[in-house]
Amino acid sequence: MFRSFYILLIMFVALPAVAKEFVVSQKNTMFLFQGSPVEQIQVEAGDRIKFINDDPFYHNIFSSSELNRFDLGVFHQGEVRSITFERHGEVDLECSIHPDMLLKVDVQQGANHE
């Protein structure tokens, strides 16, 4: 019995952490997380954010932060873009079409990636 317990314990400890996916909506020229306006979101390195355009007009997501530079391009209502955050630190996101749309992503160094 103890042998089975130790094998199970070793298997549990050795399992890799699973990256999470967060869904952020773009609605009424705001970023929304879980239906509420958000200016900052915290994730762990290796996690992914999926952006959904819920407005009847175009949006864009880009970051010029040195930590994670990217441009997901322009996308229309109902379209989705995703980005995985590999390195820990702060990443500032913007919409090039609506300059008041800002989102800070606080990427923590977690169990997903070191």
pLDDT of residue 30: 97
What gap in Å lies between CA 6 and CA 4, rounded to an integer?
5
Q: How confident is the model at residue 18 (pLDDT cuts 50, 70, 90)?
A: confident
Look at residues 68, 62, 46 and name the one whose alpha carbon lies nearest to residue 94: 62
Domains of the chain by range and CATH? Answer: 14-108 (2.60.40.420)
47-67 residue pLDDT tens: 999 999 999 999 999 999 988
Q: In what order do the strands lie in the sheet with 70-75?
A: 40-44, 102-108, 89-94, 59-63, 70-75
63-85 residue pLDDT tens: 999 889 999 999 999 999 999 99
